Amino acid sequence: MTDHAQIKASVTTDNAQIIDRALGRIVAGYVFPQRAEEVDRAIRARLAAGAYDALGGAALCEAVTAHLQEVCPDRHLRLLWQDEPQSTEPEDDDTGRAAFLALLREQNQGIRRVEQLDGNIGFLDIRWIADAGEGARAIGAAMELVAHTRALILDLRECRGGSPAGAAMWCSYFFPDDQVHLNDFYRRATDSTRQFWTLPQLPAPRYLGRPVYVLTSATTFSGGEDVAYTLRALGRAELVGETTRGGAHPTDRHPVTAHITVTVPTSRTINAVTGSNWEGVGVRPDRAEAADKALETAHQEAIRSLS
């Protein structure tokens, strides 16, 4: 066997092992077992046909991810490449949560900017949805600063995800009490459903009786979509901007190699009003607008509505 043939055979074997491990995690954990079996058959067929023989690294991850989502259009179902090596030991819940909380501390609990716009319109730029525990004080501080504005704009155009409980906390500020059912999360591993309701106590005044606008873009994802979808479904906010990315399923991460991780949606969101969610279709705005024009449009609309 020539050196080139030996290298090709080695890559093919390595890729088969990577894909086999990733598919094992998907079949064992994906929230829809039947769809997981369909994904498994489709990817193994491509593997057998040599679709991945010439690929490696990030290119392999991109190709497999595209094929996973072709069979099952779930934006959280992915094979991810990291340049920096990672531990291949299974990550327990505490470790994953600690890493997430550390990220949020570095990112000011996801709150990038708080501002008072012309016309006494409040503006909050939110990049991550913080944990409802550690993030409560920061969320409360932001809401305290806009408590006396005439209308509020929540900018989720660069919000890439976060905590479901944190999303429920953000939403709680816009309702009068703890009697509003927001959504449910069904988890396959335990065959259980967790309900999320508005919270009875908050560290800052609730924002009631005034207009709320939510800005969205094609970047808005996961936890950011949760806030946008929930507030619109309950008739509490007007959405301005672009249709979001469409990731509604809470996800676990599993190392496959030192550089590759498979992300597996293990739960699904069920909105209390619609009985559905935004997976694969995104959250559609009430008023379609280019992302870079959405703030101006919402600000003008807020001033007009209050005149």
- Number of Cβ atoms within 10 Å of the Cβ of 4: 8
Q: Tell me, yes or no, whether 54 lies in a domain.
A: yes
Instruction: For residue 230, give the 3-state DSSP assignment.
Output: helix
Query: Is 26 in contact with 36 (CB distance < 8 Å)?
Result: yes
Looking at the structure, do residues 66 and 18 belong to the same domain, yes or no? yes
Query: Is 142 in contact with 124 (CB distance < 8 Å)?
Result: yes
Looking at the structure, do residues 76 and 111 belong to the same domain, yes or no? no
Alpha helices in the chain (DSSP H): 3-29, 33-48, 57-71, 93-106, 136-145, 164-172, 223-233, 291-306
Looking at the structure, do residues 165 and 204 belong to the same domain, yes or no? yes
Euclidean distance between CA atoms 82 and 257, whole angstroms? 10
Euclidean distance between CA atoms 31 and 189, whole angstroms? 8
Looking at the structure, do residues 148 and 25 belong to the same domain, yes or no? no
| Angstrom distances, CA of residue 290 to CA of 7, 124, 214, 217, 230 | 48, 19, 14, 8, 22
Looking at the structure, do residues 13 and 123 belong to the same domain, yes or no? no
What phi, psi does 18 have (nearest 5°)?
-60, -50
Looking at the structure, do residues 77 and 117 belong to the same domain, yes or no? no
For residue 94, what pLDDT is reported? 66
Query: Is 27 in contact with 36 (CB distance < 8 Å)?
Result: yes
For CA atoms 81, 86, 89, 94, the dihedral sign is: negative
Query: Is 294 in contact with 213 (CB distance < 8 Å)?
Result: no
Looking at the structure, do residues 67 and 190 belong to the same domain, yes or no? no
Looking at the structure, do residues 36 and 124 belong to the same domain, yes or no? no
Q: Tell me, yes or no, whether 273 lies in a domain.
A: no
- Number of Cβ atoms within 10 Å of the Cβ of 197: 17
Q: Which residues of the chain have pLDDT under 70?
A: 1-13, 90-95
Euclidean distance between CA atoms 24 and 5, whole angstroms? 28
Looking at the structure, do residues 115 and 198 belong to the same domain, yes or no? yes
Number of structural domains, the chain? 2
Euclidean distance between CA atoms 272 and 252, whole angstroms? 24
201-223, pLDDT tens digit by residue?
Answer: 999 999 999 999 999 999 999 99
Range of the domain at 128: 107-247+282-306
Euclidean distance between CA atoms 82 and 67, whole angstroms? 19
Q: Tell me, yes or no, whether 23 lies in a domain.
A: yes
For residue 7, what pLDDT is reported? 40
Q: Tell me, yes or no, whether 215 lies in a domain.
A: yes
Q: Tell me, yes or no, whether 88 lies in a domain.
A: no
Looking at the structure, do residues 289 and 141 belong to the same domain, yes or no? yes
For residue 3, what pLDDT is reported? 46
Looking at the structure, do residues 198 and 299 belong to the same domain, yes or no? yes
Q: Tell me, yes or no, whether 257 lies in a domain.
A: no
Q: Tell me, yes or no, whether 213 lies in a domain.
A: yes
**The token pair that represents 169 in the structure block:** 């906390």
Looking at the structure, do residues 16 and 158 belong to the same domain, yes or no? no
Who contacts 220 (Cβ-Cβ below 8 Å, separation ≥6)?
156, 157, 158, 159, 160, 228, 241, 242, 244, 245, 283
**The token pair that represents 58 in the structure block:** 């990030």
Who contacts 281 (Cβ-Cβ below 8 Å, separation ≥6)?
243, 246
CATH code where residue 143 lies: 3.90.226.10
Query: Is 160 in contact with 129 (CB distance < 8 Å)?
Result: no
**The token pair that represents 133 in the structure block:** 């525990």
Q: Tell me, yes or no, whether 199 lies in a domain.
A: yes
What residues does 147 pair with on adjacent strands?
none
How long, in residues, is the chain? 307
**Identity of the residue numbered 54:** A
Who contacts 96 (Cβ-Cβ below 8 Å, separation ≥6)?
253
For residue 89, what pLDDT is reported? 75
